Amino acid sequence: MLLLLSPGQGSQSAGMLEPWLDLPDARARLAHWSELTGLDLVALGTTEPNEVVRATEVTQPLLTAAALLSGRALLAGGSPDLVCGHSIGELSAAAFAGVLSDDEAVELAAGRGRLMAEAAQAQPTGMLALLGGELDEDDYRSAGLELATVNVAGQVVLGGPIEALDAWTPPKGVRARRLEVAGAFHTSAMASAVEGFAALVATLEPDDATCDVIANADGAVLRDGREVLDRLVGQLTRPVRFDLCLAAAAAATEAVELAPAGVLKALMKRALPDVPVTALRTQDDLLVTA
């Protein structure tokens, strides 16, 4: 049972599209997606520096494009049994499940990135990654912080106003690292992006999924196309419970993390150590899965 994993924001790096440019039709597809989004995806994914690439409105369509190029090359017309994306990765996952077309996924990613960037500019917020130890929900919530992500046990991200992040002291034994992101994604700080993103989603006519889609909010396994899209909207202000997603994927017998890969493979190895995982970083990695 093949599980496809689509990475989220934080996986990006300068030049991440370079390994995939000589795939058949890759440049043509990127040119088309560039027209749809108003972004030069080839330049952004090959020559622009990290300071440009990590901008939310740039990163999200780039990540979606990278996942789609690598995933279509991997599948070669076939289909996975399960798909799961991390945050923005849910859009490319929906495309692999047949809920969205590839074009719709990229265009929606560009709109999502733009709206989330605008929401982040409205107030100074940020995110804090926490490793190890135990968190007291009452403690961080009383400090004005919200749960944004649970990747695996002991690997959590909180979000909130910058002043609250600066003032809060993590519990003893918990290591903290500020993330280089524009704002507190998957918290109430993104509320102003919801209406605009819902309007974009409402223009689409999704198909039901051809495989199981694991939802970020709670690890639910979905097939109804409209529910998949509705959950994408709600996810803007809800925490990513990737721990629950991995629990829902326990039946997988193999997994592939799509480009730009690495982050989710590490989480898989912690949560499901008996499931072999391949990370697609270059076209050579496609041979490993053949």
- Residues with active-site annotation: 87, 186
CB 191 within 8 A of CB 119: yes
Q: Which of 157, 64, 60 is nearest to 115 (CA)?
A: 60
Q: What is the Cα–Cα distance from 257 to 183, expressed in whole angstroms?
A: 26
Q: What is the Cα–Cα distance from 11 to 262, expressed in whole angstroms?
A: 8
**How distant, in Å, are the alpha carbons of 11, 71, 75, 136, 150 from that of 8?**
6, 15, 20, 26, 13
DSSP states along 240-266: EEHHHHHHHTTT-SEEEEPSS-SHHHH
Adjacency order of strands within the sheet including 240-241: 175-178, 125-131, 155-161, 146-152, 240-241
Q: In the structure encoding, which two tokens stand for residue 258, read together? A: 């799509």
**How distant, in Å, are the alpha carbons of 46, 128, 150, 159, 241 from that of 238?**
32, 16, 11, 11, 9
